[in-house]
Amino acid sequence: MSNVLNDRPRVGKETRARVLDVVAHLGYEINLTARHLRAGRTDTVAFVVPGFQTYFDEIADRLAAAFGAQGRHLVVESTGARPENELAALSSVRLSMYDGVILSVAGLTLTEIEGVRTTAPLVLLGEVEVPERFDHVMLANAEGAALATARMLATGSRRIAIAGGDPGGPHDGAGMAAIRRAGWVRAHEGAGLTADPALVAPGAGVGPEVGREAVRHLERSGVDYDGVFAVTDSTAVGVLAGLAEAGRRVPQDVQVVGFDNLDLAEFTVPGLTSVDPGRDAVAHHAARLLQRRIDGATPEPEHVVVPVRLVERGTTRAS
Amino acid sequence: MSNVLNDRPRVGKETRARVLDVVAHLGYEINLTARHLRAGRTDTVAFVVPGFQTYFDEIADRLAAAFGAQGRHLVVESTGARPENELAALSSVRLSMYDGVILSVAGLTLTEIEGVRTTAPLVLLGEVEVPERFDHVMLANAEGAALATARMLATGSRRIAIAGGDPGGPHDGAGMAAIRRAGWVRAHEGAGLTADPALVAPGAGVGPEVGREAVRHLERSGVDYDGVFAVTDSTAVGVLAGLAEAGRRVPQDVQVVGFDNLDLAEFTVPGLTSVDPGRDAVAHHAARLLQRRIDGATPEPEHVVVPVRLVERGTTRAS
DNA sequence: GTGAAAGCGCTAACAT
DNA sequence: ATGTTAGCGCTTTCAC
């Protein structure tokens, strides 16, 4: 029977017809679970993200296309940003459901990842340090942040605040926000200036609430500022809302730059200048690295840093 | 061995220790695929969406929470809005990977869905007509659209355009946009007015591009308008961008209302008045309906219409 | 060209 | 209390 269903060559025409007839009659439905066990593959790859968010949506679309082209399915799972779930996703138990996993790391520390024993095809994504032995794709975070900051310095901003990422919080130090903050500092140094710690706005997370809260904080504190670097575009959207609320004109009074260049950035008012992380490249490398593991190769682990570029729109002044 | 691993009761302490030792030593990792075959379950539920988008993200979060509470995993798959993929997701072949599936229908017609023979636990979601025999959760679309339109009429708008959803396009007629457009018409009638067909902006899709294009079209055509109902919030974001581009003030010159009440609606400038679909209710019903199918009941199919309400923000004038 | 059977790795039932 | 085994449904090999 399976010969017929899988279109094997050496089956008589009549037999094939007969089998197909019976199959249709009985309402037979193949059981994928059994096939997976037998085949040792599930033809499914998982993209595990900290949360269902626009940034990951845009990457997931590209991954789905890449894997779909080879007849593999992509599924997206969320860890809810809980480290224990990230670890669970790393355990081979969970991995054995999939031919491979691309895990976007958010909450785990280097030490926690170190402890993971896993031989299954796995690629790590995300703006944190990971052990040498894993394949890893990350962005040029510090460079991007520096690019953003330098752009505002070049067009006259001298007091550039930074919003998002819970500075000083429990997850700070090694995370994405910290690296981008380092780029913000570096750009100041590059211009012979010093970044003012008073311009680091508090607030945990990277959503719009954080951005709006950051601006409210700046306003309350009475500190002088004429630029805001938001660690993500999502944060930037909140920053724009906060600035409107405070009556600050963008970009005349305050320039704003985000990071991620979400599709949305083209539609804020004014359009959001943003650091483009080259999502195509991120997805491409993640898919490529996973593919070679799935193919059974055990190559040297690769650590890809995807370059970024600045996309200029209306939240920065013309140079 | 399995007794030990699964914490069965009647195992001697010493035996347990010995087994665990060996297990650790050999680096044994359980094979979930085999377990799934044996158990006849995968403890995994799929949420199949037309695309990875904010609206579905916000529902997926809630579904993940609901199923996670019962020890089940949620995975999200995208059909890329291709009808053939939606059908594939409906086929029992694909269903057999999961304990159940929640499918958000976008591109399929009633007839196409009619043809589906499936006994697996399945719940349909989405703003289209579906066969009686399926469980289905949808929004009070026409009511919501009428609510939105009536709100703008009540505060002085007399020429309310509608943006998004490809009116007159191939998928028009039965889809979400058509139902919402019906609500827009109905609200006019309820006020003793007539909706002007010239105010139906062309353009396929529900993303921001469509909203901006819609406004550009209105401006080009020179038609008079003082309000825009966007069929989704995502479209509304584009509408706001378009209006800014055209130099129209919101809400003084043009009022705007969206549909979905995305988290983002609170952060546009000005804040977006929007129809809230009660996402909690949508997720709750979808999870509940799927659960009872998984539990093996074969109850009467249920067709839930989730009520909506209007959330007023800055894109509409005070009443 | 066709049919039968072994075995993927697991676990629940059963025999010891 | 412990060890053994049958069988989930598939596919591939092997015997006919």
pLDDT in tens, B163-174: 997 776 655 556
| Same domain for B67 and B156 | no
| Same domain for A168 and A148 | yes
Q: Please give the Cα distance from A268 to B249 (Å, whole number).
A: 15
| Same domain for B249 and B147 | yes
Q: Which residue has the tokens 């539920």?
A: B45
The parent domain of residue B232 ranges over 141-276
| Same domain for A163 and A48 | no
The predicted structure's pLDDT at residue B25: 77
Lowest-pLDDT range, A172-186, B269-283, B286-300?
A: A172-186
| Same domain for A117 and A96 | yes
| Same domain for B63 and B51 | yes
Say if the Cβ atoms of B36 and A31 lie within 8 Å.
no
Residue A56's nearest CA partner among A10, A14, A102 is: A102
Average pLDDT, chain A: 91
The neighbouring-strand residues paired with B44 are B73
Model confidence over B49-61: pLDDT tens digits? 999 999 999 999 9
Round to a whole number and report the distance in Å from the CA of B1 to the C1' of C15: 17
Report the number of distinct structural domains present in chain B.
3
- The CATH code of the domain that includes B160 is 3.40.50.2300
Mean pLDDT of the B300-305 span: 97
Residue B204's nearest CA partner among B258, B260, B261, B163 is: B163
The predicted structure's pLDDT at residue B192: 97
Mean pLDDT of the A68-78 span: 94
Task: Calculate what percentage of chain A has a pLDDT beyond 70.
Answer: 94
| Same domain for B284 and B257 | no
- Residue B5 pLDDT grade (very low, low, confident, very high; cuts 50, 70, 90): low
| Same domain for B90 and B26 | no
| Same domain for A159 and A135 | no
| Across all strands, nucleotide nearest A2 (CA–C1') | D11
| Same domain for B234 and B125 | no
Q: Please give the Cα distance from B185 to B201 (Å, whole number).
A: 14
Q: Which chain A residue is nearest to residue B81, measuring alpha carbons?
A: A61
The predicted structure's pLDDT at residue B2: 58
Q: Please give the Cα distance from B286 to B125 (Å, whole number).
A: 8
Model confidence over A192-225: pLDDT tens digits? 999 999 999 998 889 999 999 999 999 999 999 9
Establish if B268 belongs to a structural domain. Answer: yes
Say if the Cβ atoms of A240 and B75 lie within 8 Å.
no
Round to a whole number and report the distance in Å from the CA of A68 to the C1' of C6: 33
The predicted structure's pLDDT at residue A309: 98
Average pLDDT, chain B: 91
A8 vs B43, which has greater pLDDT?
A: B43
The predicted structure's pLDDT at residue A151: 98
Does B126 lie at the interface with A, CB-CB under 8 angstroms?
no
Establish if A313 belongs to a structural domain. Answer: no
The predicted structure's pLDDT at residue A192: 97
| Same domain for A134 and A60 | yes
Residue B45 has pLDDT above 90, yes or no: yes
| Same domain for A163 and A127 | no
Residue A268 has pLDDT above 80, yes or no: yes
Half-sphere exposure for B70 (CA within 13 Å, toward CB)? 15
Burial string for B190-225 (b: 16+ CB within 10 Å, else e) reads eeeeebeeebbbebbbbbbbbbbbbbbbbbeeeeeb
Q: What are phi and psi of A45, to 5 degrees?
A: -120, 140
Model confidence over B179-233: pLDDT tens digits? 999 999 999 999 999 999 999 999 888 999 999 999 999 999 999 999 999 999 9
A89 vs A43, which has greater pLDDT?
A: A43
